[in-house]
């Protein structure tokens, strides 16, 4: 397959000037004048197609903005190229950490930005941020899967360690809710202390 076959569409259309940093047959990374890096396809891909193999340069037990999580306490450095992949709530690629592969979420043209859903690998991120992906389903505050309701996460591909942590969280919440129900029976939220003041007793909400 030849590169940049899709010359008629608006490839790499940036709102600010970008400089190419790295290029392979499959992907290109760019850096903008304000220092933001991003990753783009360099050829078309079919939905589900493997875009590349993810490298593992090193392993550590804590997250940074350059690592990807592969287990409850396991974070890997995936190298400069893939670390340029920005987050989107409507991602164009998946990081499959079991197979260490990057795959396309849908048919992609050459020149489309490659983004992934950070909570698909990250449970509790080192550097949360506000998302501006402008997709209709944008979750806005991205801090890791830990902070996203299960009903929302169900709409996304999740890696095994994230799915397991969600299950664990929900089991704990169920237990906590059962406790709370017992506890709040008969406890009111405002009890007069006799001086006209009202003491507020926390009822363990949320
Ligand atoms: Zn978003």
pLDDT bracket for residue 20 (50, 70, 90): confident
Residue 17, burial from CB neighbour count under 10 angstroms (0-12, 13-18, 19+): exposed
What is the domain partition of the chain in residue ranges?
18-178
109-137: pLDDT as tens digits: 999 999 999 999 999 999 999 999 999 99
**Centre of ligand 1 from the C-alpha of residue 162, in Å:** 19
Name the burial class of residue 166, with classes exposed (0-12), middle (13-18) and buried (19+) by CB atoms within 10 angstroms of its CB: buried
131 CA distance to ligand 1 middle (Å) = 5
List, for residues 143-201, the tens digit of each pLDDT value: 999 999 999 999 999 999 999 999 999 998 888 777 777 766 544 444 444 444 444 44
CATH code for residues 18-178: 2.170.270.10
pTM over 0.85: no
Q: Shortest CA distance to 109 belongs to which of 92, 96, 95? A: 92
How many angstroms separate the alpha carbon of residue 45 from the centre of ligand 1? 23
Query: What's the Rg (C-alpha) of the chain?
Result: 22
Distance 136 CA to ligand 1 centre (A): 8
CA distance 155 to 166: 13
Ligand 1 centre to CA of 85 (Å) is 14
């Amino acid at each position: 397959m030849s590169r940049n076959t899709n010359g008629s569409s608006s490839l790499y259309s940036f709102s600010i000037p970008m400089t190419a940093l790295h290029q392979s047959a499959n992907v290109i990374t760019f850096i903008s004048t304000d220092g933001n890096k991003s990753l783009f396809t360099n050829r078309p891909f079919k939905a589900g197609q493997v875009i590349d193999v993810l490298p593992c340069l090193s392993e550590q037990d804590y997250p940074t903005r350059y690592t990807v999580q592969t287990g409850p306490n396991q974070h890997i450095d995936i190298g400069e190229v893939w670390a340029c992949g920005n987050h989107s709530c409507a991602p164009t690629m998946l990081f499959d950490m079991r197979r260490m592969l990057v795959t396309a979420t849908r048919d992609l043209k050459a020149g489309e930005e490659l983004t992934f859903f950070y909570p698909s690998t990250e449970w509790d991120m080192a550097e949360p941020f506000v998302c501006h992906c402008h997709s209709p389903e944008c979750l806005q505050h991205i801090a890791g899967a830990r902070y996203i309701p299960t009903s929302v996460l169900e709409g996304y591909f999740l890696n095994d360690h994230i799915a397991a942590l969600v299950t664990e969280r929900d089991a704990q919440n169920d237990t906590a809710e059962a406790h709370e129900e017992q506890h709040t029976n008969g406890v009111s939220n405002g009890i007069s202390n006799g001086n006209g003041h009202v003491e507020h007793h926390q009822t363990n909400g949320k």
